[in-house]
């Protein structure tokens, strides 16, 4: 009887360890996929806005934390906290594009300065639309602060891709606002 209990406990422990290993592998895979999507977006944005690139292909590209266009008109921040006058819990989107002089590069609007907060997520299949709404709501306070501090029109661009490459109906609309050819 004691030996059966011990064997059962050992089997349960082995199953728990296997489950933990599977969860870790899934987390690492999703994180790598997230970083690859962000790197490709960053590369395309840099290419479109005239940032000097070291690599020829997006998959070789290692984003720098701050990039500036050749004419100094565009600043791209990668994975950076935004310093604000008041405390904001969600102040670190994946990519920030600040267009200093020529909004037509970003929004094709020649009259206003612009800023984009791009946040990428790899989500469960059913959560794509919900995740888009969460991202927009998550950065509402930061959007308001940036508009006030930098005097720019600011918008959040959620880039949400489902685990099985599911996208929402508005995905193409969001991505089309991001500078560069993203091949969607």
Q: What is the pLDDT of residues 10-68, one digit of tens each?
A: 889 999 999 998 888 777 776 777 788 888 888 888 888 777 787 788 778 888 878 77
Q: What pLDDT is recorded for position 109?
A: 27
Q: Give CA–CA dist 135/156, Å, rounded.
A: 8
pLDDT of residue 17: 92
Q: What is the C-alpha to C-alpha distance for residues 46 and 1, in angstroms, rounded to an integer?
A: 67
State residue 16's pLDDT score: 92
Put simply, whether the predicted model's pTM sits higher than 0.75 gets the answer no
Can you give the pLDDT at residue 106?
Answer: 27
The per-residue pLDDT for 99 is 52
Q: What is the model's pLDDT at position 104? A: 25
* Mean of the per-residue pLDDT values of the chain: 76
Domain boundaries, the chain: 2-176
* Residue 147 confidence (pLDDT): 86
The larger pLDDT score, comparing residue 91 to residue 176, is at 176
Q: Considering only CA atoms, which of 154, 156, 153, 159 is closest in space to residue 182? A: 159
The pLDDT assigned to 15 comes to 92
pLDDT in tens, 138-158: 888 888 888 888 888 888 888
Do residues 95 and 42 lie in contact, with contact meaning Cβ atoms separated by under 8 Å?
Answer: yes
Yes or no: is domain 2-176 CATH 3.40.91? yes
CA 48 to chain centroid: 18
pLDDT tens for each residue of 158-171: 888 887 777 788 88
Q: What is the pLDDT of residues 88-145, one digit of tens each?
A: 777 666 666 665 432 222 222 223 578 888 888 887 667 788 888 888 888 888 888 8
pLDDT above 70: residue 184: no
């Amino acid at each position: 009887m004691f030996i059966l209990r011990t064997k059962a406990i050992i089997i349960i422990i082995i199953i728990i360890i296997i489950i933990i290993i599977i969860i870790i592998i899934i987390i690492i895979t999703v994180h790598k996929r997230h970083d690859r999507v962000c790197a490709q977006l960053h590369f395309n944005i840099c290419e479109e806005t005239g940032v000097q690139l070291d690599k020829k292909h997006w998959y070789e590209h290692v984003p720098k934390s701050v990039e500036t266009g050749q004419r100094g008109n565009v600043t791209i921040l990668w994975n950076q906290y935004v310093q604000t006058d008041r405390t904001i819990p969600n102040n670190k989107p994946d990519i920030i594009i600040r267009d200093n002089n020529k909004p037509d590069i970003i929004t094709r609007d020649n009259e206003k300065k612009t800023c984009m907060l791009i946040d990428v997520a790899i989500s469960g299949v059913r959560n794509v639309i919900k995740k888009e709404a969460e991202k927009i709501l998550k950065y509402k306070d930061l959007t308001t602060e940036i508009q006030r501090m930098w005097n720019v029109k600011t918008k959040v661009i959620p880039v949400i891709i489902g685990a099985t490459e599911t996208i929402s109906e508005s995905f193409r609309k969001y991505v089309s606002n991001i500078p560069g050819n993203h091949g969607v």
